[in-house]
Amino acid sequence: MQNITNDTQILLDLCGDEGLYLIFDDSVILPLTKEKIEKASTEFWLDSSCITDSVKQAAEFQRCDFCPLKKIGGLCDAIRPTMPFLDDIDKYLSHNQVTSVYSDGQNNLMLNKTTMQEALKYLSVLSLMYYCRIGRFYWKYFLGITPVMTSKQIAYRLYLNFYYLNDGKPRLVKKALSTFRDQIFITCSNQVKRMNLVCKNDVFMNAFVNTQLITEILSFNFDKAITEQFDSARPSKLEPLSLQKLVTV
């Protein structure tokens, strides 16, 4: 069987739309593009038979207490990019290996051999950035973040955005970060509880746990962490070329 991950042109042809593509060992591809997620979530939302009454009434599936739509009730919007794909994904375990391909829709691909729980962090971050009613408030702070970044990379970028958008004033940065961290931690915790009600395996739950790590990283001494990050990226010492060494004998 042909390994399609070794052929760049095939990957470009198959992974042209923006989003995530999961490629399994048998070369089966599960596309999780933005367009497919939006279409699937809309169809799922409109089909009342997709969610049982017991799930709809469960406290875990209601909106968070600080959600701006809490008063009108209804199911949490953050589940929209995950629920339609339960049948396709819930048969896998967190540690199962998969090749993830992220496409920006402009023929730029990011290829990574990883675990299912790490790959599906894409959906959990996506639900946070574009579907969660609170997460959407922070759209400016998500500038420059892609769902395939590591938790630490996302946390560093978030901090720099918070720093800039709060004019670099330590008190404002600390206050804004604290509110964001508390709200997102609760949101991710609730997502884990929701997935626990409807999933047979642990892949979706652990994907949200991995996303929750972002809030824990943001609890660190970030001034120190950012300084260390910049220091680690400093170019190594470059010795000047000697004319004597360039002269051939």
pLDDT for 190-201, tens place per residue? 888 888 877 777
Element (H, E) at 32: strand 29-33
Element (H, E) at 222: helix 222-232
> 134 pLDDT exceeds 70?
yes
More confident residue, 225 or 114: 114
Neighbours of 86 (CB within 10 A): 16
Distance (Å, rounded) from C-alpha 52 to C-alpha 91? Answer: 20
| Average pLDDT over every residue of 27-34 | 86
More confident residue, 219 or 194: 194
